[in-house]
Amino acid sequence: MHRADRQPSRRAFLDATGATVAAGLLGGCSSGSSQPDRSDPTTAAASTPVPATGRHQAGVTLPHSAQRNLLAVVVDLDTAVAPGPLLAELGEAIHALTAGSDPRLLGLSPGDLTVTVGVGPRLVRTVGAALPGAADLPRFSRERIAPQDRGGDLLIQICADDALLVPVAAAALLDRAGDRVRERWRQYGRRGTEVSIAKGVTAPRNLLGFIDGIVGPHTTAEQERDLWLAGPAAVAGGTLAVLRRMELDLTRFAALSVAEQEAVFGRHRASGVPLSGGTVASGPRLGAKTPDGRYLVPADAHVRRANPTMVGVGLMLRRSYSIDEPVPGVLFISFQNDLRTFTATLTRMDTSDALLPFTTTTASATFLILPGFGQQHPLGSALFG
């Protein structure tokens, strides 16, 4: 049977999408909205569905508390493949999967499944070299990256509380793409236990035992300023993603005393509170000193070196997922509307950040996360239509 004959029809997709767009726009990402208890494994099957359509793609700020499991798949397009039709088909498949109407879900409930699609710099440059997302990531120190693990044409990010959904959805999407794409690399990751850092805002612990992703654009105003692209029209509503897979030297870090570990991060390990005091959600007081003149937050502490006010950039929405294959480490993903937010931060960290010596980057890529899609606007149509 021809591949297209096995898919839900485009008409069915469009008919269903109209209602879902309205639900997605009304649902929003209110920090006060009720969320399932992600610490309870029995809630995975009952997770609240996340609309696939709307102004923004799901999987960035929706759901408000990120799902526990992620699979990032990076692929290249054959040079003869037109991105527009492929992206439109992927959008149809995403809608069918998240709506539960695709038989390739094998009877699984879609739950809070989200799929987020981004396009790499090579594809963006075919439309315009000055567009956001057209620039490649520069190279940084402490990288050991094989050629196939750097860059890529297409990112497919799949997230769900139910770990079974992730590979099933990936297989369905890659089947839809067929031989038009070639896989570069993929990475599974999972988030640690969520810790409350402010009303309606949580962050997980990482493999090093510290709360991860405390600082970020959590309010709607901050997200409009630092996360979402306002223009040009072809990318408005999208954002820029950076992916970095890093090995962690857990053995050497664990050999440090708790006080030494806290000096590396600039926060207390148990609570996440800055070494300068306050609450977990309060910013570190970088000028605060001890009576003998030493900074409470050390000069090379991670929270100082990566602090956006010290770097002179906006906020980035950071997501870290713990990994154990190929070796223990972290898949770091950041979303921002200016690539310099990431590159300037890492450049400053490169000069003196106490955390970096415990890391080695083994994969790296950046993608333009496409604007949201819906009934009248297939995925990618604003850019490749």
The three-class DSSP label of residue 8 is coil
Mean pLDDT score of the chain: 90
Is pLDDT of 3 > 70?
A: no
Question: Domain for residue 183, yes or no?
Answer: yes
pLDDT number for residue 47: 82
Question: Domain for residue 32, yes or no?
Answer: no
Q: What is the pTM of this model?
A: 0.88
292-321 residue pLDDT tens: 999 999 999 999 999 999 999 999 999 999
Cα–Cα distance list, 2 to 5, 28, 296 (Å): 5, 38, 65
Question: Domain for residue 314, yes or no?
Answer: yes
Helix axes 165-177, 83-99, angle to 10 degrees: 150
The CA distance from 327 to 345, in Å, is 26
The CA distance from 104 to 171, in Å, is 8
pLDDT number for residue 201: 86
pLDDT number for residue 31: 34
Is pLDDT of 7 > 90?
A: no
The CA distance from 339 to 341, in Å, is 5
Is pLDDT of 17 > 80?
A: no
pLDDT number for residue 385: 86
pLDDT number for residue 35: 44
Question: Domain for residue 158, yes or no?
Answer: yes
Identify the helix (H) or strand (E) that includes residue 312: none
DSSP string covering 255-289, please?
A: TS-HHHHHHHHTB-TTT--BTT-S-TTSPP-TT-B
110-144 residue pLDDT tens: 999 999 999 999 999 999 999 999 999 999 999 99
pLDDT number for residue 2: 38
The CA distance from 255 to 53, in Å, is 47
Cα–Cα distance list, 202 to 21, 193, 199, 383 (Å): 27, 10, 8, 34
Q: What angle do CA 193, 342, 27 make, to 5 degrees?
A: 55
Is pLDDT of 226 > 90?
A: yes
141-150 residue pLDDT tens: 999 999 999 9
- Exposure string of 83-113, with b = 16+ CB inside 10 Å and e = fewer, is beebbbbbbbbbbbbbbeebebbeebbbbbb
Is pLDDT of 4 > 70?
A: no
Contact of 204 with 212, CB cutoff 8 Å: yes
Question: Domain for residue 33, yes or no?
Answer: no
Is pLDDT of 18 > 90?
A: no
Is pLDDT of 75 > 50?
A: yes
pLDDT number for residue 46: 57
Question: Domain for residue 358, yes or no?
Answer: yes
Question: Domain for residue 13, yes or no?
Answer: yes
Instruction: State how many domains the chain has.
Output: 1
Domain range for 129: 3-26+41-384
Helix axes 83-99, 10-27, angle to 10 degrees: 70
Mean of the pLDDT values across residues 164-169?
Answer: 98
266: tokens are 């600039």
